[in-house]
Amino acid sequence: MLTFIGLGLYDEKDITVKGLEAVRKADIVYAEFYTSHLMGTTIDEMEKFFGKKITVLSREDVEQAPAWLSMGKEKNVVFLTGGDAMVATTHIDLRLRAIDMGIDTAIIHAPSISSAVCGLSGLQNYRFGKSTTIPFPYERKNKVIISEAPYDVIKMNKKNDLHTLVFLDIVETEKRFMDIGTAISILSGLEERRGEGVLMNTIGVGIARAGSKSPVVHADYLEELKKYDFGAPLHIIIIPARLHFIEAEALVKLCGAPSEIMK
């Protein structure tokens, strides 16, 4: 048996009671933190709270899964991930591979950033389009490569009058977490390069440490938002489309957006 269990947003106590019970009954507990990361806890704290040894898998371990995945044929195996258990395509692929191997699977859900951002910002969940991720620039053959995919997704969503949830890159092996200021600088550079005006006079919503006791949520025009101190990671950005009047009111009252957006 292989059970996929979401850990929630911030620390070891975000797991559901059902998830905790399943972890404590497991023979083997695996986890990955390259698709998301719980900033409010450590592996040691999770092991103490869960009462189980946790084996952390790298990206390569997960993608080359059969060696550990096959354990589910004989044992009760749990696979832990930050957020909800099935948000990442990687996790869906794992479940399909397990089924192909004749392994029974189950899912225990948990809070996800995809829904949490709506509650924190007041933006309506049914108005979100395709999400995207801003990766860190990287060097290839002495040339800095910056992905234009996030810009294209925002452009498409704006055309369709849909909000965009923008995830920020995590390099787990180096403990690097992109911040909102860096992300906006990358988007601004793409805007300047392409000259399409997609982000002109655009409001953004920045959220830091969702799920903690003191999340930071702030909305402003992107150039001003870039200067705002959101503190420690994890950070995420929303680029809204046209605002419903209730959404505009929510951004002003909940997120400190300029009151002019309500006009």
Tell me the pLDDT tens digit for each residue of 162-176: 999 999 999 877 789
Rounded mean pLDDT, 96-112: 95
| Band of residue 121 on the pLDDT scale cut at 50, 70, 90 | very high
Structural domain span for residue 255: 113-262
Closest CA to 239 of 131, 153, 164: 164
Question: Which of 58, 79, 108 is where one domain is finished?
Answer: 108
Q: Which two tokens stand for residue 219?
A: 């909305």
The answer to whether residues 61 and 162 belong to one domain is no
Q: How confident is the model at residue 90 (pLDDT cuts 50, 70, 90)?
A: confident
Number of domains in the chain: 2
CA atoms of 218 and 9, how far apart (whole Å) = 19
From 50, 77, 108, the end of a domain falls on 108
**Which residue stretches of 108-259 are H helix?**
113-121, 149-159, 180-194, 222-225, 245-255
pLDDT exceeds cutoff 80 at 65? no
Of 91, 108, 125, the domain-final residue: 108
Segment 98-120 shows an average pLDDT of 96
Whether residue 75 is found in the same domain as residue 183: no
- pLDDT higher than 90, residue 48: yes
**Predicted TM-score (pTM) of this structure:** 0.92
Closest residue by Cα to residue 209 from 113, 109, 131, 119: 113
Does 66 score more than 80 pLDDT?
A: no
Cβ 52 vs Cβ 80: under 8 Å:
no
Q: Are 234 and 124 part of one and the same domain?
A: yes
Q: Which residues contact 241 (CB under 8 A, 6 or more apart)?
A: 127, 129, 157, 158, 160, 161, 162, 163, 164
Average pLDDT of 95-119? 95
Q: How confident is the model at residue 184 (pLDDT cuts 50, 70, 90)?
A: very high
